[in-house]
Amino acid sequence: MSSLTQATNAKYDSLVNNLIKNGHIDRQESRNRSLTRKDSTMSHPDDEPEETPDKLIETIVELGIHNKDLLFLGKLQSLQSFSIIIRQLRSLENVQLSSAAQISRRKASKEADSASGSVTPPPPTITINCRENTKDVAALNYISNHLDTASLRTVIGHVLDALRPQGYFVMREHLQGSASGDNLTDKFHFRDPSVTCNMLNSITTADGLHGLQLISALSPDPVGGQQEMTWLYQKVAADAPAKQLQQFLDAQQYTKKGILKYEQIFGDRFVSTGGARTTKEFCQLLQLQRGQTVLDVGCGIGGSGFFMSEEYGAHVYGIDLSSNMISIGIDRRRTGGFHGVDFEISNVLTREFAPNSFDVVYSRDVILHIAEKKKLFEDIYNWLKPGGKLFITDYCCGVKEHNPDFQEYVKQRGYILLTVPAYGKLLEDVGFVNVRAEDRTKQFIGILRTELQNFEPQQSEFVENFSQEDYDEIVDGWNAKVKRCSAGDQAWGSFLAEKK
Ligand SMILES: C[S@@+](CC[C@H](N)C(=O)[O-])C[C@H]1O[C@@H](n2cnc3c(N)ncnc32)[C@H](O)[C@@H]1O
């Protein structure tokens, strides 16, 4: 097991320990509900071994959820593995997948349709008999690949009702990597992670009082196999504020179209200054070694991670709160045949990694979005191994009094900017040593001008794929950055630091 998998399991460990500490809440009346599905088969899209309890099951079982209520929805046809699970999960109860009804109605329907010569699979029924607010954990293992989005939404709504408040929802599914929403190949439904994320964020209990809050959604490097995602959510009050930053990033700052548009000027797989060129330059400072583990905070669509893995043989754990970014990153990983990068949708401010997990923490033009910089640097210090390195580039502000245009720009973007010296001092205050805080504003201006020069010849192709308005917005935006930097309002800093 890799140290990163261990770190991830450590996270699950602490979640489960919390579950064990918390008592059960009062149980309420049982309710029966049913759902009609359109899909007719429940076989697995992959030829995975049926009899070996797999990673998700291992995670749930090994972490010792004894005497806790666990609702498990698994593969209907893998009865053998289902019985293994039933044996292992002593408290499993109240799970009813109506396979018998499914089969009998399918036969009836075939007969009925034979007159017209067509066979239409009838909608089978999933019934969940479960009391509300009773389950500590609910797990859906590959079930979602058999349901269209509307049906999945209904199932998860029922599952959410069954979970107790603060209970955990785990869902593992296969991804195909499509960047454009629902994609049904034959019998199986492969959803783009940003579609699933939006769906999970918007589901509430029947009474509307509770919803789901993201903890993490991990898509490990598939190492040649099929890409998958394990979603981990918690049942919280529907009006819990934590979703706002993610919604802002996905719906405003980094829409899918916006990301693809900016990639045109930053360069393939990058959404930050200088793209591959600055990545190469800064990675040299880090003297990465083969096998080192890197946490890429705000990894975007994966350019830095792919580079570090390919050039240095590092293993990169890329986290980003934007589901759009991670969806595109996973797609790039699949289509580009990249390895060595795990992607995770999560908020770096709430994510917990085990202490001493990483050799390097790397972050490019991300922390401008984050107000709680001190807390973040303390966490990063903790996550780094002794002697580990931190490298950051970030938008900063100049030391002079700022003019109103700049203040308006910062406000409108929701940025929280420090001067380069204040940034460096904060890192020292947290305990980092050998802190090198460099004002790279001149380099930034040079890069912006080069990016513009390289972008202009692509105008007609860009306009074909996007629009003239998009083109003008980028050119105006780049010129405005040059102006703000030249006036001393905006700055760009790099920060290299070490843990003692
Ligand atoms: C300018 S983009 C840079 C992306 C990437 N580092 C690159 O170089 O291409 C900033 C990224 O920070 C991410 N981000 C902002 N706040 C975050 C948070 N609290 N947790 C994780 N990622 C965050 C955004 O979603 C976005 O992908």
The answer to whether 381 and 499 are in contact (CB under 8 A) is yes
Minimum mean pLDDT range among 82-91, 249-258, 475-484: 82-91
310 token code pair: 């390919």
Identify the pLDDT of residue 484: 97
Residue 364 has pLDDT above 90, yes or no: yes
The answer to whether 192 and 143 are in contact (CB under 8 A) is no
Q: Whose CA is nearest to atom 10 of ligand 1?
A: 366
Q: Which residue has the higher pLDDT, 81 or 433?
A: 433
Identify the pLDDT of residue 2: 40
Q: What's this model's pTM, rounded to 2 decimal places?
A: 0.82
Identify the pLDDT of residue 71: 62
Considering only CA atoms, which of 446, 434, 443, 437 is closest in space to residue 419? 437
Atom of ligand 1 lying closest to residue 273 CA: 8
Identify the pLDDT of residue 159: 86
Confidence of residue 70 (pLDDT cuts 50, 70, 90): low
Q: Which residue has the higher pLDDT, 147 or 267?
A: 267
Q: Whose CA is nearest to atom 4 of ligand 1?
A: 300
Identify the pLDDT of residue 187: 65
Reported as half-sphere exposure (CB side, CA atoms, 13 A), residue 267 has a value of 16
Dist. CA 311–CA 306, nearest whole Å: 8
Identify the pLDDT of residue 214: 92
261 token code pair: 């548009």
493 token code pair: 């800093």
Identify the pLDDT of residue 129: 65
CB of 364 closer than 6 angstroms to any ligand 1 atom: yes
Task: Match 């709680």 to its residue by tokens.
Answer: 372
For 447-472, how does the pLDDT look when each residue is reduced to its tens digit (9 = 90+)?
Answer: 999 999 999 999 999 999 999 999 99
Q: What distance in angstroms lies between residue 140's CA and the mean position of ligand 1's atoms?
A: 29
Reduced 3-state DSSP string for the chain: CCHHHHHHHHHHHHHHHHHHHCCCCCCCCEEEEEEECCCCCCCCCCCCCCCCCCHHHHHHHHCCCCCCCEEEECCCCCHHHHHHHHHHCCCCCCCEECHHHHHHHHHHHHHHHHCCCCCCCCCCEEEEEEECCCEEEEEEECHHHHCCHHHHHHHHHHHHHHEEEEEEEEEEEECCCCCCCCEEECCEEECCHHHHHHHHHHCECCCCCEEEEEEEEEECCCCCCCCEEEEEEEEEECCCHHHHHHHHHHHHHCCHHHHHHHHHHHCCCCCCCCHHHHHHHHHHHHCCCCCCEEEEECCCCCHHHHHHHHHHCCEEEEEECCHHHHHHHHHHHHHHCCCCEEEEECCCCCCCCCCCCEEEEEEECCHHHCCCHHHHHHHHHHHEEEEEEEEEEEEEECCCCCCHHHHHHHHHHCCCCCCHHHHHHHHHHHCCEEEEEEECHHHHHHHHHHHHHHHHHHHHHHHHHCCHHHHHHHHHHHHHHHHHHHCCCEEEEEEEEECC
Q: What is the mean pLDDT of residues 243-271?
A: 93
Q: What distance in angstroms lies between residue 300's CA and the mean position of ligand 1's atoms?
A: 5
The answer to whether 258 and 224 are in contact (CB under 8 A) is no
Identify the pLDDT of residue 107: 38
Q: Whose CA is nearest to atom 27 of ligand 1?
A: 300
CB of 254 closer than 6 angstroms to any ligand 1 atom: yes
Best residue for ligand 1 mutational test, from 254, 321, 366, 369 (most atoms within 8 Å of Cβ): 366
Residue 445 has pLDDT above 80, yes or no: yes
Identify the pLDDT of residue 328: 97
Considering only CA atoms, which of 292, 294, 301 is closest in space to residue 322? 301
CB of 249 closer than 6 angstroms to any ligand 1 atom: yes
Identify the pLDDT of residue 419: 98
The answer to whether 263 and 270 are in contact (CB under 8 A) is yes
Identify the pLDDT of residue 36: 26
Classify residue 183 as exposed, middle or buried by CB count within 10 Å of its CB (0-12, 13-18, 19+): middle
The answer to whether 328 and 179 are in contact (CB under 8 A) is yes
Q: What is the mean pLDDT of residues 193-213?
A: 95
User: Which of 5-14, 184-193, 321-330 tops mean pLDDT?
Assistant: 321-330
Dist. CA 121–CA 251, nearest whole Å: 37
Q: What distance in angstroms lies between residue 318's CA and the mean position of ligand 1's atoms?
A: 10
Atom of ligand 1 lying closest to residue 304 CA: 8
Q: Whose CA is nearest to atom 5 of ligand 1?
A: 300
Minimum mean pLDDT range among 229-238, 276-285, 314-323: 229-238
Q: Which residue has the higher pLDDT, 219 or 36?
A: 219
Considering only CA atoms, which of 423, 413, 391, 389 is closest in space to residue 491? 423
Dist. CA 403–CA 488, nearest whole Å: 10
Dist. CA 188–CA 317, nearest whole Å: 29
Q: What distance in angstroms lies between residue 223's CA and the mean position of ligand 1's atoms?
A: 25
**Considering the chain, what percentage of its residues have pLDDT values greater than 90?**
57
The answer to whether 417 and 314 are in contact (CB under 8 A) is no
CB of 158 closer than 6 angstroms to any ligand 1 atom: no
CB of 216 closer than 6 angstroms to any ligand 1 atom: no
The answer to whether 234 and 215 are in contact (CB under 8 A) is yes
Q: What is the mean pLDDT of residues 492-498?
A: 98
Q: Which residue has the higher pLDDT, 76 or 482?
A: 482
Q: What distance in angstroms lies between residue 18's CA and the mean position of ligand 1's atoms?
A: 29
Dist. CA 60–CA 66, nearest whole Å: 10
**Considering the chain, what percentage of its residues have pLDDT values greater than 70?**
72
- Cα three-residue angle 249-146-9, rounded to 5 degrees: 60
Minimum mean pLDDT range among 1-10, 144-153, 292-301, 370-379: 1-10
Q: Which residue has the higher pLDDT, 101 or 281?
A: 281
Confidence of residue 111 (pLDDT cuts 50, 70, 90): very low
Residue 9 has pLDDT above 80, yes or no: no
Minimum mean pLDDT range among 15-29, 111-125, 331-345, 399-413: 15-29
CB of 298 closer than 6 angstroms to any ligand 1 atom: yes
Minimum mean pLDDT range among 180-194, 389-403, 444-458: 180-194
Residue 184 has pLDDT above 60, yes or no: no
CB of 499 closer than 6 angstroms to any ligand 1 atom: no
Strand partners, 496: 391, 436
142 token code pair: 């590959």
Task: Match 């785990």 to its residue by tokens.
Answer: 170
**Which amino acid belongs to residue 479?**
N
CB of 305 closer than 6 angstroms to any ligand 1 atom: no
99: which residues sit within 8 A by CB, 6+ positions away? 42, 76
Atom of ligand 1 lying closest to residue 349 CA: 19
CB of 365 closer than 6 angstroms to any ligand 1 atom: yes
Q: What distance in angstroms lies between residue 366's CA and the mean position of ligand 1's atoms?
A: 5
Best residue for ligand 1 mutational test, from 369, 416, 481 (most atoms within 8 Å of Cβ): 369
Confidence of residue 421 (pLDDT cuts 50, 70, 90): very high
Identify the pLDDT of residue 138: 79
Q: Which residue has the higher pLDDT, 7 or 197?
A: 197
Confidence of residue 182 (pLDDT cuts 50, 70, 90): low
Q: Can you list the domains of the chain with their CATH numbers?
A: 3-239 (3.40.50.150), 249-498 (3.40.50.150)
CB of 432 closer than 6 angstroms to any ligand 1 atom: no
Task: Match 């629009």 to its residue by tokens.
Answer: 467
Identify the pLDDT of residue 8: 41
Residue 109 has pLDDT above 90, yes or no: no
The pLDDT mean for the chain works out to 79
Atom of ligand 1 lying closest to residue 270 CA: 9
Residue 83 has pLDDT above 50, yes or no: no
Identify the pLDDT of residue 449: 98
Identify the pLDDT of residue 144: 82
